[in-house]
Amino acid sequence: MIPEISLVVPVMNEADNVEPLVEEIARALDGRSFEVLYVDDGSTDDTVSVLAALQKTRPWLRVLRHAENCGQSASIRTGIDAARAQIVATIDGDGQNDPADLPRLIDHLAATAPTVGMVSGKRMKRQDTYMKRLGSRFANGVRSRLLNDGTTDTGCGLKAFRRSAFIRLPYFDHMHRFLPALMQRDGYQVEFVDVNHRPRLHGASHYGNLDRLLVGITDLAGVMWLRRRGRRPSAVFED
């Protein structure tokens, strides 16, 4: 049977976070028709073996593996390409996103018009270091001013969107940080929902302020170009 919801979870070296998060996801989506697609992005720890053990008792759990590390955007695209549901949600694999917020995002999207392509989480009371919050606030402010996409938290991994809308988007590395702007470029509306944020209990973050800043400058210029070059008809008629 085709599930109603596909949840994509990109991971890289998150062995200690896998089982607790899988259990929370199961509780959050209990009573719904769903599948969970973990996409391992070249982990060098026990992430894949932990997932393989969990699959034995969870038929809704699917595991996709990259032969080498390709980044979070590639992992998200791999999961969405393989997803069977028309409504797809994403959540970070480090446990900082709260799976209990998933039903609100999914139900919010399901209740909107087809012109709404995505509902994105907005993290409240972020549980990160001061420097990480400061760097994120600066980057979000610059991006929002230049792209005018209405989002103040593009880094939140909790999102729900129509699969048909996502697969039309231009792909490039780090595109996941620009999804609201890219959705709007294709004529979709984007709505935002406040979500919980939690401290990381296991492992270490794979991102820092400096590396995100360096790649972000180039990416931002590229997205600005894509938005300027995007043209679409206001209506399409068939004779």
Q: Global pTM?
A: 0.84
pLDDT at 208: 53
Confidence of residue 133 (pLDDT cuts 50, 70, 90): low
pLDDT at 136: 65
Structural domains of the chain sorted by starting position, each given as residue range(s) with its CATH number in brackets? 5-229 (3.90.550.10)
Averaged pLDDT, 149-171: 89
120/206: higher pLDDT: 120
Averaged pLDDT, 176-196: 93
What is the SS3 assignment for the chain?
A: CCCCEEEEEEECCCHHHHHHHHHHHHHHCCCCCEEEEEEECCCCCCHHHHHHHHHCCCCCEEEEECCCCCCHHHHHHHHHHHCCCCEEEECCCCCCECHHHHHHHHHHHHCCCCCEEEEEEEECCCCCCHHHHHHHHHHHHHHHHHHCCCCCCCCCCCEEEEHHHHCCCCCCCCHHHHHHHHHHHCCCEEEEEEECECCCCCCCCCCCHHHHHHHHHHHHHHHHHHHHHCCCCCCCCCC
State the CB neighbour count (10 A cutoff) for residue 221.
11
Averaged pLDDT, 74-103: 97
What does the mean pLDDT of the chain come to? 88
pLDDT at 74: 97
Q: Is the pLDDT of residue 130 over 80?
A: no
By the 10 Å C-beta count (0-12 exposed, 13-18 middle, 19+ buried), 130 is classed as exposed
